[in-house]
Copies of this chain bind each other. A is one copy, B any other.
Amino acid sequence: MELVDSSATKLDSAFTRIQRDVDAVFDALLPLPEDTRRPLFEAMRYSAMDGGKRVRPLLLVATAEMLGVARDPALRAGCAVEAIHAYSLIHDDLPCMDDDALRRGKPTLHRAFDEATAVLAGDSLHALAFEILTDPATTSDPFTMAQLVRTLATASGMNGMAGGQVMDMAADSATYDLPTITRLQQLKTGALLAASVEMGAILAKLPPEGRGPLRAYARDIGLAFQIADDLLDVEGDAETVGKAVGKDSDQGKQTFVTLMGVEGARNQSRALVEQAAGHLAQYGEDADLLVALARFIVERDR
């Protein structure tokens, strides 16, 4: 009991700290200019500093710290991942995509500004991610820079997040089975979570052949994360979740919940998290934060 409480407290303070730190990095990266680009920067700040949980930066920092990397480079790399995540939310919320009015309890960017600014703020955050990763303040080692860029670009594009988003759009008309839904979610959500872990390992200069357990952990929590998301869509409260719920079932869309049932999905997500924790056994207590983060992912209410 005490152990659980202490790691819950540790996770809470890790979240508080990463949220403050990520905001500070974006604040420094996005000073308002004195020309007519001002609304662009305001829009980027609105989306990048909007009170998200910062799961991806924390995942990256926790992995890097477990492997002995200093916090600052990892934090900056985490902000690069978060910039990609933020751009994807902006574009996903657009009228031609999910047409969402609320995001994290605030008006979505195209509602608070306008659609054109939302498209361009997303594009600019996308580019910013790669500006951050090739900034000497992130790392002075070009090999590390290049690997970070390659990992994040691959995880975001046609063979990663954007590809998964297209599969998801097609899910309205196509009938997907469990392996296909799993593949879809590995791309749409899993790729960026896995990239966060991988980038922590890259910063630590852990060779690819030593990344097996971390990759297995990332794969399991990625899937657990999406199952938890599907459960929230069915059982969550719109006010707590901060966005519309019940959309998937309204659209008659296949999800892990429609395919496995509520209980089945919950059991599966919990089993995945325990499995994820098991992969990190070799790291002992050093992996406590990553394990606590995995548990948080399935138990979160938003």
Contacts and interface: CB of A to CB of B under 8 A. Distances in A.
Interface of A: 30, 35-37, 39-41, 44, 87-88, 91, 94, 96-97, 110, 114-120, 122-124, 126-131, 133-135, 142-143, 145-147, 149-150, 152-154, 156-158, 160, 162-163, 165-167, 169-171, 174, 180, 183
Kindly list the 7 A-B residue pairs having the minimum CB-CB distance in the complex, ordered from nearest: A127-B157, A96-B115, A134-B150, A130-B153, A36-B170, A145-B146, A142-B143
A45 B249 CA distance: 33
A73 to B, nearest CB: 14
Given A97-B116, A116-B96, A162-B124, A37 B167 contact: yes
15 contacts: A40-B162, A40-B163, A41-B158, A88-B123, A91-B119, A96-B114, A123-B156, A126-B126, A126-B127, A126-B157, A134-B146, A134-B150, A134-B153, A142-B142, A145-B145
A135 to B, nearest CB: 8
A84 B89 CA distance: 20
Q: Is the interface of A mostly helix, strand, loop or mixed?
A: helix
Nearest to A40: B166
Copies in the assembly, this chain:
2
B119 A97 contact: yes
Contact of A149 (B39, B123, B134): B134
B127 A153 contact: yes
Contact of A36 (B87, B96, B135, B167): B167
Given A126-B126, A170-B36, A119 B119 contact: yes
Contact of A163 (B37, B131, B162, B171): B37
Contacts of A150: 130-131, 134-135
Given A35-B183, A134-B153, 4 more contacts: A35-B167, A36-B174, A123-B156, A134-B149
B124 A157 contact: yes
